[in-house]
A and B are shown apart, each in its own frame.
Chain A
Amino acid sequence: MTPHDDFHDAHDLAALRSFAIEDAVDEDRITAIEQRVRTHVLADEARRRARLRPAPRRRTWWRTALRQAPVAIVSAFIVVGLSFSGGTPGGEPASASTDAAPFLNETAANMMSEQPIGVVSGGGGPVGGGTAAPDASNSGAIATNVVTIDIPSPDAEDQLAEAPDSQTLAAGPDALPDETLNTVPANESQLLQLLREAGSSNQGRDVDYLPFRVAASYVASPNVPVEVRAAFLRMIGQLDGIDLGGTSSDVVGRPGTVIARLDTESGIRQQYLLNPDNGRLLEHREFTTTGGGIGSCPAGMIIALEVFDDSGVVVDPQSAPWAPWPVVDPSCTPA
């Protein structure tokens, strides 16, 4: 017996089957779903291929050491950074400029000139670089300051890797193997072209929604070379509709400068808080600016919130010791 034999009233079943049938088929969306999954699968495949290659042993050694550094060191970085808050723009009036590009270019320059991590023998802890908090990036410059060993040049290591295409780049730094990360162009125009190409098929969002979001993910990642992170910062300055939003504090209380953008299609405002002294991303939040839509969300509803510690790791809201955490409703879909 099939299930349908047991559904005695065929009229009821037919009525149920015709309910909202007009929503059931949308080839564009089905294609979009497949593309999203394919990007994910290809990125995973690339990661697997990278893992199958022989790892550059020396380089891995210091990276592992960095990754296994005690949480206390990371916490100390935060304390050091905050203790120099007099040098940060907390409480100071924001730049009056409405053009974010000069600010981002200067911040990118600060990021490039920031003092890297130093490791004191005997486990004495990090050496702070003046008022700048230390950088946990994996750039060659940093590597040579961490340990005095002969590090293979990135050029030699990257011979096998190809520069990522637009879709791969748009998948974000976590989806890329280290070899590919080292081939991401440190050129803001090239990055913008690639990400706009990837964002052009992003339904329901304008063309710069994706570049802004993806750029921030690279800026936040400690695994991305500092030159590339700086290029992404400069790239953000080239996007349409970027606002320099003044100074603010994140949920932990760290001061920074707001860079924001309103997605004209969805009404979602994406907002990032940057430390202008070193270009480090402190917080990302997205919220609605218009009410209504499928979720009937009120304006001002936070739909995404991430806080990054000094190593670029997203702080888990569930384990955060501070309270109250703002209400976040990721299911809220604006008009």
Chain B
Amino acid sequence: MDVVHDAAPTESTDATLIVDSLKNPRAFMTVVQRHQRVLYGYLARRVGPDLAEDIAAETFTRAYAQRKRFDPAWSDARPWLFGIASNLLRTHARSESRRLRAYARAAQPDHATAEDDRAVARADAELTAPRLAAAIESLSEGDRDALLMFAWADMGYDEIAAALDIPTGTVRSRLNRARRLVQASLAEPERNPS
């Protein structure tokens, strides 16, 4: 097989690379390498590793096919890629719900074994995971997209707005609503799973 050398230097912006890729398709691979980790991580946490791999690969191949339509005013392709991924995720909503329900049913850890800070932090995370899962599942699709892009993909309001094709003000209101719900779910008194 060919040894592939992706032609573009890594310091080029995504917009430059995508425009270049219209003449030199391999330049697109640098965009893939830049964003595949965060995109896969986001998708894997939403629908699990197997589906995430498929959706991430499909996102990039669709992006490649549609790259003529990319707005070069955006130097960073992340919002564009997450917009494509969000559309693909919608067809897997049932898988995501099943996964969240499984998390919500998960047994809670025994705090008595937590002896150091890391163990306490881990136990704390495990303790809150079922509640978080239930809270995330109860969010509307739009609120969930906004919250998880914010928390898991480290995207700003403008980027989320671009990805979801909504006004920035709507992103703020969605995040506010989602945040309140998460806050309330974490503040609930601890329930004994037994």
Which residues of chain B from 25 to 79 have any CB-CB distance to chain A below 8 Å in the complex? 25-26, 28-29, 32-33, 36-37, 40-42, 44-45, 47-53, 56-57, 60-61, 64
Interface of B with A (CB < 8 Å)? 1-2, 4, 25-26, 28-29, 32-33, 36-37, 40-42, 44-45, 47-53, 56-57, 60-61, 64, 91-92, 94-95, 98-99, 103, 124-125, 128-129, 132-133, 136, 147, 150-152, 155-157, 172, 175, 179, 182-183, 186
Instruction: Determine how close the nearest CB of chain A comes to the CB of B48; give it in whole angstroms.
Output: 5
Question: Cβ of B40 and Cβ of A17 under 8 Å apart?
Answer: no
In the complex with contacts A294-B48, A294-B95, A331-B91, A25-B186 CB distance below 8 A: no
Question: Cβ of B26 and Cβ of A45 under 8 Å apart?
Answer: yes
Q: Which residue from B41, B98, B124, B182 sits with its C-beta under 8 Å from A295?
A: B98
- Render A211-222 as a binary contact track against B, CB cut-off 8 A, 1 for contact: 000000000000
Question: Cβ of A34 and Cβ of B186 under 8 Å apart?
Answer: no
A307 to B29, CA, bound (A): 34
In the complex with contacts A34-B32, A40-B61, A333-B51, A19-B132 CB distance below 8 A: yes
Question: Cβ of A24 and Cβ of B45 under 8 Å apart?
Answer: yes
In the complex with contacts A34-B29, A167-B1, A295-B98, A19-B129 CB distance below 8 A: yes
Question: Cβ of B36 and Cβ of A33 under 8 Å apart?
Answer: yes
Measured CB to CB, the nearest residue on chain A to B61 is A40
Measured CB to CB, the nearest residue on chain A to B132 is A19
Question: Cβ of A18 and Cβ of B183 under 8 Å apart?
Answer: no
Measured CB to CB, the nearest residue on chain B to A26 is B49
Instruction: Determine how close the nearest CB of chain A comes to the CB of B139; give it in whole angstroms.
Output: 12
Question: Cβ of A165 and Cβ of B2 under 8 Å apart?
Answer: yes
* Cβ of A29 under 8 Å from chain B: yes
* Cβ of A2 under 8 Å from chain B: yes
- CB-based A-B contact count at 8 angstroms: 139
A18 to B132, CA, bound (A): 10
* Cβ of A320 under 8 Å from chain B: no
Measured CB to CB, the nearest residue on chain B to A17 is B151
* Cβ of A38 under 8 Å from chain B: yes
A46 to B111, CA, bound (A): 59
In the complex with contacts A3-B150, A23-B44, A34-B32, A41-B26 CB distance below 8 A: yes
Interface of A with B (CB < 8 Å)? 2-3, 6-9, 11-13, 15-21, 23-26, 29-30, 32-34, 36-38, 40-42, 44-45, 48, 165-168, 203-204, 294-296, 331, 333
A44 to B25, CA, bound (A): 8
Beyond A25-B37, A29-B40, A38-B29, 14 extra complex contacts between A and B, CB < 8 Å: A3-B150, A9-B179, A15-B128, A15-B186, A16-B151, A23-B45, A23-B52, A24-B40, A24-B152, A33-B32, A165-B2, A167-B1, A294-B98, A295-B95
Instruction: Determine how close the nearest CB of chain B comes to the CB of A218; give it in whole angstroms.
Output: 19
Q: Which residue from A11, A20, A33, A48 sits with its C-beta under 8 Å from B103?
A: A20
Question: Cβ of B36 and Cβ of A3 under 8 Å apart?
Answer: no
Question: Cβ of A19 and Cβ of B95 under 8 Å apart?
Answer: no
Instruction: Determine how close the nearest CB of chain A comes to the CB of B44; give it in whole angstroms.
Output: 4
Measured CB to CB, the nearest residue on chain A to B155 is A3
Question: Cβ of B41 and Cβ of A16 under 8 Å apart?
Answer: no
A331 to B50, CA, bound (A): 11
A75 to B129, CA, bound (A): 57
Q: Which residue from A15, A26, A38 sits with its C-beta under 8 Å from B125?
A: A15
Instruction: Determine how close the nearest CB of chain A comes to the CB of B47; give it in whole angstroms.
Output: 8
Instruction: Determine how close the nearest CB of chain B comes to the CB of A30; give it in whole angstroms.
Output: 5
A-side contacts of B48, CB under 8 Å: 23, 294
Instruction: Determine how close the nearest CB of chain A comes to the CB of B183; give it in whole angstroms.
Output: 5
